[in-house]
């Protein structure tokens, strides 16, 4: 038996590890030993490959076969059929189009419109091997600029590329560098902001886990450009794998003299430390992040002064996002014109997004700036799950806004999104189907911002809480028409008067949903009902006595014993005691229980009585 040389790439990003990638590797090693072909197979643990919904995933070379949702039970079949007999297991492969199998990764629709720059190596190399990174051209850009270019030439190239900060603000990268370089005070510091905290976002985590040396090289390039000799990785403690791999990358770079004194025999020296954050969302803001590194409470400071003038320990400092830094090696190797050839006039290059929600292909994607929402959701994302209809798209995390299905042809760039009441943010994209309540979604994001507010400034600390209380009223069925006006005015005031980016953008989910889904708010307020039957107080379960067969299953399974009756009298739900768990509806064998939008009469009476008692008590 002759087996040709095979390379197996198994995704060992956090998502696939959680889905069982470790057990799959163990089983693979076991079967390869049994079949006596272990010496013909090279197994590589890679970072995130992208399509997280298909995890655990693995690729087999030289064919480039992509296997999805691999389980331990599939391994023997893969080894026997593919590795020994040369017949890939088609049932584990992805469809290219209906009825046709994508025989290599190049044919998978998920990748068709993607252009990988920051994610160029993610999923293709061992993130813990500096040798593999160097073999793929790693540290070539750093070596080139260090020996052939002065720092100003590097800044000019980044300026020409049009690279803007990928952390959310979109500030021109070269301008931060230039302002810091021109400052004559030393020492100067460089910080990599890896404090990604948006719900559903995992772009920076995946980059740090999947290609740590790329981010490290980006930091070296930036440090050389601004004249910094000391740098810091600031990574949230919830990313233990990212921290582990960055620490290993730093250690390997030092062993090869790529970090430390007189790098490449030049007079440039640079060293790095890793600091882990405690998971405060506000520390994504650069001045709060700097305070945290200094050992202080993570709170933002007014600007000016900007970090380029007064940053870490009062010295000139640049804070760049993980993705921003990951773009630099390719920009300086392939040239700024190449990078600027992608995107729009004011938003150049590509952008990494975490595509989540009610979409078929959830995962990590990198697409050119200027791609439309329609292409991202339907071409890359594969459309909505289970035949659902698109209702909204939430971009920019808790600071972003919700757009509607009418905005599918809007270009994804900084200016176009801001014009429509949303924002790029760090790259979170949540696809929302018509089964979701937009008032409830606005409340969810606002609740996150209330909890994450550092409390330093009154507009954010008090204003956001007031907005959340109004949304609680509305989703409880106690809303008034004046509440919409109050939400609007409060939101606009908080945006204008808050100290930092958290407060200045936190009202966006509420303001954008009022703008595009006002009728849904009015339904909650005027009719006391949730059209999608999501808000607990605004729907109830009703037993149809004509259909009910008196089997008592609903009563037996009810966790709060709020269903009474008998076979003869049929069953009845005591509405004030119902906790809306839906168990009764699930167990009913004849579908006699339905979900009704609104507030049941008995509950309305109780609420009216309670309100009257409170008024009398107040008097």
Q: Pseudo-torsion of CA 14, 15, 16, 20, nearest 10°?
A: 90
What is the distance between the alpha carbons of residues 391 and 404, in angstroms, rounded to a whole number?
6
| Fold (topology level) of 350-433 | Ubiquitin-like (UB roll) (3.10.20)
In the chain, ranges of CATH 3.40.50.11540 domains: 130-340
51 in helix, strand or coil?
A: coil
- The confidence score (pLDDT) of residue 612 equals 77
Distances (CA, A) of 555 to 237, 504, 537, 568: 46, 50, 21, 14
The yes or no reply on domain 438-526 and CATH 1.20.1440.230 is yes
What is the distance between the alpha carbons of residues 598 and 606, in angstroms, rounded to a whole number?
15
CA–chain centroid gap for 279, Å, is 15
* CATH C-level class of 536-603: alpha beta
Residue for token pair 């044919």: 107
- The confidence score (pLDDT) of residue 166 equals 93
In the chain, ranges of CATH 3.30.70.20 domains: 536-603
Closest CA to 571 of 581, 556, 582, 586: 556
Six-digit token pair at 68? Answer: 């999805």
* Helix and strand counts by DSSP (H, E) for the chain: 26, 19
In the chain, ranges of CATH 1.20.1440.230 domains: 438-526
- The confidence score (pLDDT) of residue 173 equals 97
| Fold (topology level) of 6-110 | Glutaredoxin (3.40.30)
**pLDDT lower than 70: segments of the chain:** 1-4, 618-619
Contact 125, 9 (CB under 8 A): no
- The confidence score (pLDDT) of residue 618 equals 65
- The confidence score (pLDDT) of residue 65 equals 93
Six-digit token pair at 582? Answer: 């839906």
Distances (CA, A) of 275 to 166, 192, 217, 227, 250: 21, 10, 18, 21, 13
- pTM value? 0.92
Residue 377 sits at the vertex; the CA angle it makes with 371 and 382, to the nearest 5 degrees, is 125
Six-digit token pair at 593? Answer: 């229980």
Label residues 498-524 b or e (16+ Cβ within 10 Å = b). bbbbbbbbbbbbbbbbbebbeebbebb
What sign has the CA pseudo-torsion 167, 170, 171, 176?
A: positive
In the chain, ranges of CATH 3.10.20.600 domains: 350-433
Q: Strand 271-277 relative to strand 230-236: parallel, antiparallel, unpaired? A: parallel
Residues 6+ positions from 461 with CB-CB distance below 8 Å = 453, 455
pLDDT tens-digit series, residues 163-177: 999 988 889 999 999
In which region does residue 64 sit, left (phi positive, over 0), alpha (psi from -120 to 50) or beta (all else)? left
388 in helix, strand or coil?
A: coil
* CATH C-level class of 130-340: alpha beta
- The confidence score (pLDDT) of residue 619 equals 59
pLDDT tens-digit series, residues 18-38: 999 999 999 999 999 999 998
């Amino acid at each position: 038996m002759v087996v040709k040389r095979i390379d197996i790439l198994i995704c060992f990003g956090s998502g696939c590890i959680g889905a069982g990638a470790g057990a799959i590797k163990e089983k693979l090693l076991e079967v390869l030993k049994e079949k006596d072909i272990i010496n013909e197979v090279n197994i590589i643990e890679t970072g995130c490959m992208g399509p997280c919904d298909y995890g655990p995933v693995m690729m087999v070379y030289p064919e480039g076969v992509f296997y999805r949702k691999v389980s331990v039970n599939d391994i023997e079949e893969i080894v026997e059929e593919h590795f020994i007999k040369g017949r890939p297991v088609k049932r584990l492969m992805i469809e290219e189009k209906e009825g046709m199998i994508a025989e290599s990764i190049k044919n998978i629709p998920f990748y068709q419109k993607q252009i990988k720059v920051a994610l160029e190596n993610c999923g293709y190399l061992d993130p813990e091997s500096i040798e593999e990174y160097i073999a793929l051209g790693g540290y070539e850009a750093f070596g080139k600029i260090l020996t052939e270019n002065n720092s100003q030439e590097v800044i000019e190239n980044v300026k020409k590329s049009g690279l803007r900060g990928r952390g959310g603000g979109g500030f021109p990268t070269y301008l931060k560098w230039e302002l810091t370089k021109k400052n004559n005070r030393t020492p100067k510091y460089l910080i990599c902001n890896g404090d990604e905290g948006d719900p559903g976002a995992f772009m920076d985590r995946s980059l740090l886990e999947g290609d740590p040396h790329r981010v490290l090289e980006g930091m070296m390039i930036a440090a050389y450009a601004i004249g910094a000799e000391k740098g810091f990785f600031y990574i949230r403690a919830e990313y233990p794998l990212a921290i582990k791999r960055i620490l290993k990358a730093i250690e390997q770079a030092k062993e090869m003299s790529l970090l430390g004194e007189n790098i490449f025999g030049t007079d440039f020296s640079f060293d790095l430390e890793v600091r882990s954050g405690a998971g405060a969302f506000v520390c994504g803001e650069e001045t709060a992040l700097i305070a945290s590194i200094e050992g202080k409470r993570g709170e933002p400071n007014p600007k000016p002064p900007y970090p380029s003038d007064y940053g870490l320990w009062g010295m000139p400092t640049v804070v760049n996002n993980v993705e921003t830094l990951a773009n630099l090696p390719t920009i300086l190797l392939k040239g700024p014109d190449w990078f600027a050839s992608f995107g729009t006039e004011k938003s150049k290059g590509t952008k990494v997004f975490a595509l989540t929600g009610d979409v078929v292909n959830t995962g990590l994607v990198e697409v050119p700036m200027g791609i439309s929402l329609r292409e991202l959701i339907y071409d890359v994302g594969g459309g909505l799950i289970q035949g659902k209809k698109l209702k909204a798209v939430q971009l920019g995390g808790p600071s972003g806004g919700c757009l509607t299905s009418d905005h599918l042809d809007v270009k994804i760039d900084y200016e176009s999104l801001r014009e429509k009441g949303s924002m790029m943010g760090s790259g979170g994209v949540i696809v929302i189907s018509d089964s979701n309540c937009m008032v409830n979604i606005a409340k969810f994001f606002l609740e996150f911002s209330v909890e994450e507010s550092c409390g330093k400034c009154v507009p954010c600390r008090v204003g956001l809480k007031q907005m959340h209380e109004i949304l609680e009223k509305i989703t409880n069925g106690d809303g008034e028409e004046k509440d919409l006006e109050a939400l609007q005015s409060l939101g606009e005031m908080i945006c204008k008067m808050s100290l930092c980016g958290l407060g200045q953008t936190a009202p966006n989910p509420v303001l954008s949903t009022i703008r595009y889904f006002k009728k849904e708010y009015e339904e909650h307020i005027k009719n006391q009902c949730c059209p999608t039957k999501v808000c607990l107080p605004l729907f109830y379960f009703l037993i149809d006595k004509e259909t009910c067969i008196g089997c008592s299953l609903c009563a037996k399974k009810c966790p709060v014993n709020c269903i009474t009756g008998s076979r003869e009298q049929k069953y009845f739900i005591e509405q004030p005691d119902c906790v809306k768990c839906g168990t009764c509806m699930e167990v009913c064998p004849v579908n006699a229980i339905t979900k009704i939008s609104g507030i049941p009469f008995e509950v309305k009476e109780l609420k009216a009585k309670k309100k009257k008692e409170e008024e009398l008590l107040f008097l």
